[in-house]
Chains A and B, each alone.
Chain A
Amino acid sequence: MPPIPGSGLAKGLAVTLRTMTRKTVTEQYPDAQPELPPRTRGVIGLFEENCTVCMLCARECPDWCIYIDSHKETVPAATPGGRDRSRNVLDRFAIDFSLCMYCGICIEVCPFDALFWSPEFEYAETDIRDLTHERDKLREWMWTVPAPPALDPGAEEPKELAAARKTADKLAAQQEAARAAEQTATAPGERPEPEDRPEPGHEPGSESAPGHEPGRAPDSGPGHARPGHAREPGSAPGREPGQEDRE
């Protein structure tokens, strides 16, 4: 059936009229902060406690915008008669954001999770030299790094968590076995169900669990501890599916 002549014109008018009655999509940015997704590439934060000065980030950077200075320190042997260990100490870590092209390669390659994306973007300067963010400034950005997004439902557990749980389970099983042995020795009775997923942080010996290095995740940093993140105790707090922390 041929269309009525002019129906296309009417349709066009209807589209614009309908759009006019709808809510606009304008973000009134300086007045209202934009709602950025948590993985927004705004600025790079440095969690320097995790940095081992391996220089991978500086070497992979396509723009050569990461400057790292360090020196070696000798750590005396922990046990008498042991060998002295040498350790890299970070002297300077700077990212020149006037060169950075926000590719994120440095964050990808960092083997120790010392670099993070933060959605913060308001760091324009009037002097280009001020765009070189030094170590302390990069550390400051860490407070703005949002918690990583939640895993998909049914997704495989992160390796760190799995390893931590394995250790914890083994420990619990040992304790259980010991207690069971004790109880069978005294009185055979009802015994409590073994805790399925004990919180590693409260378990003795869990300090060595690889999934729970102190402060390895930004969420555990001071000022960022979110009370709303109380979840099931098995998952490490750093891996919480926190959402963006800015409205």
Chain B
Amino acid sequence: MNDALDVTLRLLIVFVVFLAFPLIVGQTEHKVMAHMQGRLGPMYAGGFHGWAQLVADGVKFAQKEDVVPAEADRRIFQLAPAVALLPYLLVLLAVPVGPGEGAVGQVVDAGIFFVLAVMGVGVLGSLMAGWSSANKFSLLGGLRTAAQLLAYELPMLLTAASVAMAAGTVSLVGILDAFEWWWLPWQIVGAIVFFVAGLAELQRPPFDMPVADSEIIFGAYTEYTGLRFALFLLAEYAGIVVLCGLTTVLFLGGWHGPWGADGLGWVWTLLKTAALAFVVIWLRVTYPRLREDQLQKLSWTLLVPLSLAQIALTGVVKVVIQ
């Protein structure tokens, strides 16, 4: 009975985090982006500096009509948002926040593989949406999504493998237990490659060719309205949370901090994740969208060689220090 309570509690906490953190990131994006452009951003909703803007957006989305195009493949069209969103919920289960068993939703033995595999499934949702909308822009968006996933999954995996080599385990908790501060400079190239590839996989600007709203009208999501569209948006922001959390865990040492008092490790994890989320927003504001060929070129001619070099470096250092 106690076990059941424990499981329920963990699931509940993860679910709350899953719903709350993307909204926080989204709200931060509203405000940070506005100020980086010399604007104020939302100011009204909720009274104080528009803190409830995304809640209001959610209410608005919920009120909208749920339209399925006549020519669309109805079932797949309706299923796609769930396929896009649920993987991130599963990934959050496995991301450790603090030291010990109590601070992770579920310890997964092959944590890295679980996380990367399930994140890859999320892209399937975009593909389903792109195909089933019966819209040429959506199809283009789906194609670009697929091409981008194929290009960027590889460097992401390779750099994650580099960390796994360094730690000698593929478990996220194990990696954090083995973490030393000098891994930071050792794995810095891998960290950057992982982060950039993750951004591309999430289709965040400047890698947002698949949803490029000014040329293919939000790509795979062109035909979506109301709640289903909101689910796709939620998936994007949940993806940011997951990517930042993963980068924190894999490369920035998670709960380790310079003056990490016991029991406050989760603060470090959250701080690092928040800082990375800020960087995600910052990059979005700063850089223009890459062209499709530039996107592919960046992955195959820069990120993949860099990640291979990182693996070589990791191997050499690992052998030397043993």
On whether A28 and B282 interact (CB within 8 A), knowing A19-B38, A20-B32, A20-B36, the answer reads: no
Are the CB atoms of B286 and A19 closer together than 8 Å?
Answer: no
| A151, CB-defined interface residue at 8 Å | no
**Pick the contact of B39 from A13, A16, A17, A26 — CB < 8 Å?**
A26
Nearest neighbor of A11 in chain B, beta-carbon distance: B286
| B285, CB-defined interface residue at 8 Å | yes
Are the CB atoms of B287 and A9 closer together than 8 Å?
Answer: yes
| B8, CB-defined interface residue at 8 Å | no
Interface string of B24-44 (1 = CB under 8 A from A): 000000001011111110010
On whether A13 and B38 interact (CB within 8 A), knowing A20-B32, A28-B43, the answer reads: no
Are the CB atoms of B282 and A16 closer together than 8 Å?
Answer: yes
7 nearest A-B pairs in the assembled complex, by CB-CB distance: A26-B40, A16-B36, A20-B36, A20-B35, A12-B286, A16-B286, A25-B38
| CB<8 Å pairs between A and B, sample of 11 | A12-B286, A12-B287, A13-B286, A16-B36, A16-B282, A19-B35, A19-B36, A22-B38, A24-B35, A25-B38, A26-B39
Are the CB atoms of B287 and A17 closer together than 8 Å?
Answer: no
CB-CB contacts below 8 Å: B256-295 with A: 282-283, 285-287
Closest beta carbon of chain B to A222's beta carbon, Å: 39
Closest beta carbon of chain A to B41's beta carbon, Å: 9
Are the CB atoms of A28 and B40 closer together than 8 Å?
Answer: yes
| Chain B contacts for A25, CB-based, 8 A | 38-39
Interface residues on B, range: 10 to 19
Once bound together, how far apart are the Cα atoms of A176 and B164, in whole Å? 105
| A181, CB-defined interface residue at 8 Å | no
Once bound together, how far apart are the Cα atoms of A28 and B44, in whole Å? 11
| Chain B contacts for A16, CB-based, 8 A | 36, 282, 285-286
Residues of A within 8 A of B (CB): 9, 12-13, 15-17, 19-20, 22, 24-26, 28
Closest beta carbon of chain A to B273's beta carbon, Å: 20
Closest beta carbon of chain A to B38's beta carbon, Å: 5
Consensus secondary structure, chain A interface: helix
Closest beta carbon of chain A to B148's beta carbon, Å: 20
Are the CB atoms of A17 and B35 closer together than 8 Å?
Answer: no
Are the CB atoms of A24 and B43 closer together than 8 Å?
Answer: no
Once bound together, how far apart are the Cα atoms of A13 and B282, in whole Å? 7
**Pick the contact of B282 from A17, A22, A24, A26 — CB < 8 Å?**
A17
| Chain A contacts for B37, CB-based, 8 A | 19
Closest beta carbon of chain B to A157's beta carbon, Å: 43
Are the CB atoms of B36 and A24 closer together than 8 Å?
Answer: no
Closest beta carbon of chain B to A175's beta carbon, Å: 62
Nearest neighbor of A31 in chain B, beta-carbon distance: B43
Once bound together, how far apart are the Cα atoms of A26 and B282, in whole Å? 20
Are the CB atoms of B34 and A24 closer together than 8 Å?
Answer: yes
Are the CB atoms of A15 and B38 closer together than 8 Å?
Answer: no
| Chain B contacts for A15, CB-based, 8 A | 286
| Chain B contacts for A12, CB-based, 8 A | 286-287
Closest beta carbon of chain B to A22's beta carbon, Å: 7
Closest beta carbon of chain B to A30's beta carbon, Å: 10
Nearest neighbor of A14 in chain B, beta-carbon distance: B286
Once bound together, how far apart are the Cα atoms of A77 and B40, in whole Å? 67
| Chain A contacts for B43, CB-based, 8 A | 28
| Chain A contacts for B282, CB-based, 8 A | 13, 16-17
Once bound together, how far apart are the Cα atoms of A168 and B311, in whole Å? 95
| Chain A contacts for B285, CB-based, 8 A | 16
Closest beta carbon of chain B to A205's beta carbon, Å: 59
| Chain B contacts for A22, CB-based, 8 A | 38
Nearest neighbor of B279 in chain A, beta-carbon distance: A13
Closest beta carbon of chain B to A2's beta carbon, Å: 18
| Chain A contacts for B287, CB-based, 8 A | 9, 12
On whether A24 and B39 interact (CB within 8 A), knowing A12-B286, A15-B286, A16-B286, the answer reads: yes
| Chain A contacts for B32, CB-based, 8 A | 20
Are the CB atoms of A24 and B286 closer together than 8 Å?
Answer: no
| Chain B contacts for A28, CB-based, 8 A | 40, 43
| Chain B contacts for A17, CB-based, 8 A | 36, 282
Once bound together, how far apart are the Cα atoms of A15 and B36, in whole Å? 9
Once bound together, how far apart are the Cα atoms of A9 and B35, in whole Å? 19
Once bound together, how far apart are the Cα atoms of A156 and B287, in whole Å? 53
Closest beta carbon of chain B to A98's beta carbon, Å: 30
* Residue of B34, B283, B285 most packed against chain A (CB within 10 A): B285
